[in-house]
Amino acid sequence: MSPELGHLAVIAALCLSFFQAVIPMVGSFVGHRSWMRLGHSLALGQFVFLGLAFVCLISVFIQDDFSVAYVANNSNTLLPLHYKVSAVWGAHEGSLLLWTLILAGWSGAIALFSGHMPQTFSARVLSILGFISLGFLLFLLFTSNPFERLLPVSPLEGRDLNPLLQDFGLIAHPPMLYMGYVGSSVPFAFAIAALIGGQFDSAWARWSRPWINTSWVFLTLGISLGSWWAYYELGWGGWWFWDPVENASFMPWLMSTALVHSVAATEKRGVFRSWTLLLAILSFSLSLLGAFLVRSGILTSVHSFANDPERGIFILWFLVIVVGASLLLFAIRSPQMANSTTHRGWSRETILLVNNVLLVTSTATIFIGTLYPLFSDVFQLGKISVGAPYFNFFFVPLMIILMLALGFAGFTRWGSTDVNLLLRRGLFPGLLSFFIALLVPALLTDSSSGSSYSFTAGITLFVSAWVLFMTIEDIYLKSRGSWINTKRFTGSYWGMVIAHIGLAACALGVGMSSSYDEQRDLRMMPGDAVKISDYEFRFGGVNRVDNANFVAFRGEVSVTDKTGMTINLFPEKRNYKAGGQVMTEAAIDASLARDLYVSLGEPLQGEAWAVRLQIKPLVRFIWLGSVLIGFGGLLAAFDKRYRRRKKVLDGQSNRGGLAFE
Amino acid sequence: MHPLRRQRLQIVILIIFAGACASALIIYALGQNANFFYTPTQIEEGQAPKGTFIRAGGMVVEGSVKRDDISLAVEFSVTDGAAILRVRHIGILPDLFAEGEAAIAAGRIDDNNILQATEVLAKHDEKYTPPEVADSMNATYQSRQEAKAELK
Amino acid sequence: MNKFAVFAPLALFLGLSMILFLGLDKDPSILPSALVDKEFPEFDLMALDDEHRQITREELLGDVTLVNVWASWCYACSVEHNMLNKLSDRGVKIVGLNYKDQVEDAMLWLENLGDPFVYSVSDIRGRLGLDLGVYGAPETFLVDAQGIIRYRRVGVIDERVWRNEFRDLYAELLVEAQ
């Protein structure tokens, strides 16, 4: 398939998105049913055309058509087939096409599964999504067309895909992350449609909750895949750097997490309505801001795409129009929505409020830290960068408080809860966690090597154990100690339980791996050995290994543990033939309890090499926990009751845009 | 005062108080952790404070990288075209680090105007091709052309 | 109170976007160049096509010149080359700085892709490149008639870059030179 076909398909999708933005919206105001219905088919049509464009781009990559600039820049004849396909979204232009395709995918899904919502409402949702899509397609066509040809002089050979991106993690990570990023436009569209219609009640929350949860799950998994990729592919054992691009995805995640919780209160009790709306708008705004930061090159980062101020200007105007208009709409419309119920003292509403305040505060601190270098540059205060300690200074304590409050989540009731009851419930898990926190680090303290009791580990253990025990106690009490009763639990409840345990696991991984992490950078000759805690690392030297698209220097490091078991690890230093880049390929022996992480630095004099040896206890729990969080979110999103309500609501849908109250 | 109004006043005071605390904390933390960037020229002119954690960068001067024989200590110079800055570092250099390419070092300036770096980052522009890359790329062209010739 | 509070997010956002607009003009990836508005460094190098012809800084004087750093090993240069050909057709005086290259490769390249340069100097050892603080190829310097560097571009020049970054300044310098 030719690049021109793909180009035409994008133009066709652009036209459809324009109609999708205009026709259903106008229809919803004049009450024209067929116009409103048109939104559904337009959304699906757009998805088909963008799918076609995407397939075209893939086929151009497979054919090694280097007359297409994007292919020449990001592929190479020597590249294995699966990387030629993933190279499609390896750089700015193609990833933007993927972005628009995913957006069309979300709109298509809404078109298919919105039967239980009033037609005026779903028409407006689709129209808003159409508008967003219009913006991104214009951006794609005018500033970043992946189908642009390099004529008349086209190169014989491409430049190759950045070897960092030649990896499974990068095949899966961007699509997953974009599903989450773009997914946040769905709650946004729901919020704007609610503001336009003035209809914002529990029914609204019920319709949007599965969508909010699903997009949040994708964002969760996308971020954790990214961190896992950075861990094993960047070669130095770090898994989170507070890098601007990471922050750009983490801020919408924190905001969406707040949204997931606040919309629960809105659905069940009709409270926090304006707040929920604002969160939906803000998490989408932060996604857009993230796109802006990553693609304008305004902040430097290891992951950012090429600098191009013109692209930056475009997204920024789009951001200003979309976010400005929606915040204005919010300011004008939201005061009409008064809370219908009250809550007092300790209640589930209060706990959720605490959750929201903490999450929003941490987002704000990250936001300031991420943008501060920019402010400083603009106001001529000098070129600066904000280091990781700043972010940890705020984020860690806030998360500790969050997890302490989270322990009570299951026991609180809507409306009000007896404080004494909460204290009674918390007594036993609290004491147990305290002993664990006291005991385990003390046992791990090795006085011979001069290490002392680790408070970081103690606090981590306390909060993780606290969340775990409180959750188990809650399950036990709710099921009255019998497994049969657990069958009555809803998907939402299981989702909450699993996600909270996942958070505890994740926190455990973060805290333990950072407090008991052992790392040595050494100059090693073949035959040299070094003992780090219970392991002896022996360096066997380096061999040259030739591969299809790279030449590797492969080191051999054998690790012997206390019991005499020996593992051989083969870290590599790779020179990619086509791009000429050098890559560190770490060798990892992974297990649930600890990772052994060995990477080759650079060759030194003679046969000596610089080598980095690391032991990372419980580091796997970080990603295991994130997967649990995602799985919990998915369970909650597919709770049966969202489907059961459908019939009830069908009867009401002919009431159109009127508020239910 | 009306109880509802008193409650509101309390909330407002609470919010203002919390906001003030948060701002103070943020300003403090930013002051502690924001690292300024200086060019070799600025450092030569003495604009960079000694003993404070800073970042500095430029192009790594050809032939300036010297590795110690027994440890991981390394010394090199960076230049911005006008002045030269000596950098000392102990540890592993990043993959993209090379002579003739841009690098950024983070650390403290000592009394001899040498940057004692705790971290070295290599910068890499997407549109930049170092000569080594070209060599390997030419090799790729040649092997492809040879392969084509053999097929004929 | 509530009436004003709801406008707070909007106000904050508008303030932020102002700063973002201002920030777009700053490019954090480019290290501040010490050379803009300084004299083009002295050099004494041979011409690419004639090893007996010595070229020095004096030859840059008197005309507004683009000095383009290029090499046959540079992929991005091939992308840029077409644009340079167009500029030379429009009468822009372009001097090539052939950077760390082999003379034969460089000559072959010009034969294949066209030669937009008035002449190219051959900087095999990268000596002048070092004085200029060149990060790599392509890079382009706009030098005025007095031999002062007035602008520097790291990376490819295309129609858009020319229009946005060079054209007006170039025209200004031409007027200045007369």
Does residue C45 carry a pLDDT above 50?
A: yes
Q: Amino acid letter at A74?
A: N
Instruction: Report yes or no: C78 at the A interface, CB cutoff 8 Å.
Output: yes
Min Cα–Cα distance to chain A from B69, Å: 7
Distance from CA of residue A81 to its chain's centroid?
27
d(CA C93, CA C116): 9
Residues A590-628: pLDDT tens digits?
999 999 999 998 888 888 899 999 999 999 999 999 999
> Taking the complete model, does pTM exceed 0.90, yes or no?
no
- Which sequence spans correspond to the domains of chain C? 34-177
Q: Is A282 in contact with C28 (Cβ distance < 8 A)?
A: no
Instruction: Report yes or no: A582 at the B interface, CB cutoff 8 Å.
Output: yes
**Which chain A positions have a beta carbon within 8 Å of C2's beta carbon?**
335
d(CA A599, CA A532): 15
Q: Is B71 in contact with A602 (Cβ distance < 8 A)?
A: no
CB A379 within 8 A of CB A466: no
Does residue A338 carry a pLDDT above 80?
A: no
Angle at A268 between CA A267 and CA A269, to 5 degrees: 100
Instruction: Report yes or no: B11 at the A interface, CB cutoff 8 Å.
Output: no
For residue A504, report the phi and psi dihedrals to the nearest 5 degrees.
Answer: -60, -45
Best mutation target among A165, A577, A614 (most B Cβ atoms within 10 Å) is: A577
Best mutation target among C67, C74, C83, C102 (most B Cβ atoms within 10 Å) is: C74
Give chain A's domain count. Answer: 2
CB A28 within 8 A of CB A124: yes
Q: Amino acid letter at C90?
A: R
The partner residue sitting opposite A331, judged by closest CB among C10, C27, C32, is C10
List the beta bridge partners of residue A523: A610
Assigned token pair, A239: 């898994």
Give me the torsion for CA of A521, A523, A529, A532, rounded to 10°. Answer: -10
Give me the torsion for CA of C57, C60, C65, C71, rounded to 10°. Answer: -50
Angle at A315 between CA A314 and CA A319, to 5 degrees: 120
Distance from CA of residue A451 to its chain's centroid?
36
Mean pLDDT of chain B: 75
Q: Amino acid letter at A234?
A: L
Q: Is C26 in contact with A374 (Cβ distance < 8 A)?
A: yes
Q: Is A307 in contact with C75 (Cβ distance < 8 A)?
A: no
Chain A adjacent subunits, 3+ CB pairs under 8 A: B, C
Tell me the angle at which helices A185-197 and A309-333 cross, rounded to the nearest 10 degrees: 40
CB A294 within 8 A of CB A315: no
Q: CA of A275: which chain C residue's CA is closest?
A: C6
Residues A542-578: pLDDT tens digits?
999 988 778 899 999 999 998 889 999 999 998 877 6
> Pick from A104, A139, A161: which residue ends a domain?
A161
CB C151 within 8 A of CB C166: yes
d(CA B56, CA B58): 7
Mean pLDDT of chain A: 86
Q: Amino acid letter at A350?
A: T
Q: Which residue has the tokens 């392509």?
A: C138
Q: CA of B138: which chain C residue's CA is closest?
A: C73
In chain A, what percentage of residues exceed pLDDT 70? 90
Question: Which pLDDT belongs to residue B123?
Answer: 58
Element of type H or E holding B58: strand B53-60
> Pick from A161, A180, A201: which residue ends a domain?
A161
The partner residue sitting opposite A324, judged by closest CB among C2, C14, C21, is C14
Assigned token pair, C12: 């904050």
Does residue C30 carry a pLDDT above 60?
A: no
Q: CA of B126: which chain C residue's CA is closest?
A: C155
Q: Amino acid letter at C97?
A: L
Beta carbons within 8 Å of B13's beta carbon, 6+ residues apart: none
Residues A20-74: pLDDT tens digits?
999 999 999 998 899 999 999 999 999 999 999 999 999 999 998 888 888 887 8
User: How does DSSP assign B82-114, residue by residue?
Assistant: S-EEEEEEESPPPTT--TTSEEEEEEEE-TTSE
Count Cβ–Cβ pairs < 8 Å, chain A vs chain B.
100
Using 50, 70 and 90 to split pLDDT, how confident is the model at B148?
Answer: very low
Residues A101-152: pLDDT tens digits?
999 999 999 999 988 889 999 999 999 999 999 999 999 998 889 998 876 5
Which region holds residue A272: left if phi is over 0, alpha if psi is between -120 and 50, else beta? left
Per CATH, the homologous superfamily of domain B36-122 is Nucleic acid-binding proteins (2.40.50.140)
Range of the domain at A549: 518-620
Min Cα–Cα distance to chain B from C176, Å: 27
- Does A455 fall in a domain? no
List the beta bridge partners of residue A524: A609
Does residue A184 carry a pLDDT above 90?
A: yes
> Pick from A145, A161, A177: which residue ends a domain?
A161
Q: What is the ipTM of this complex?
A: 0.77
Q: Amino acid letter at A52?
A: L
Per CATH, the homologous superfamily of domain C34-177 is Glutaredoxin (3.40.30.10)
CB A134 within 8 A of CB A18: yes
What length is written for chain B?
A: 152
In chain B, what percentage of residues exceed pLDDT 90? 11
Assigned token pair, C61: 């004087």
d(CA A176, CA B94): 29
Residues A579-600: pLDDT tens digits?
567 788 899 999 999 999 999 9
Q: Is A335 in contact with C17 (Cβ distance < 8 A)?
A: no
Does residue A660 carry a pLDDT above 70?
A: no
DSSP code at position A587: E
The partner residue sitting opposite C21, judged by closest CB among A285, A310, A316, is A316
- Which sequence spans correspond to the domains of chain B? 1-34, 36-122
Q: Amino acid letter at B135?
A: D
DSSP code at position A613: E
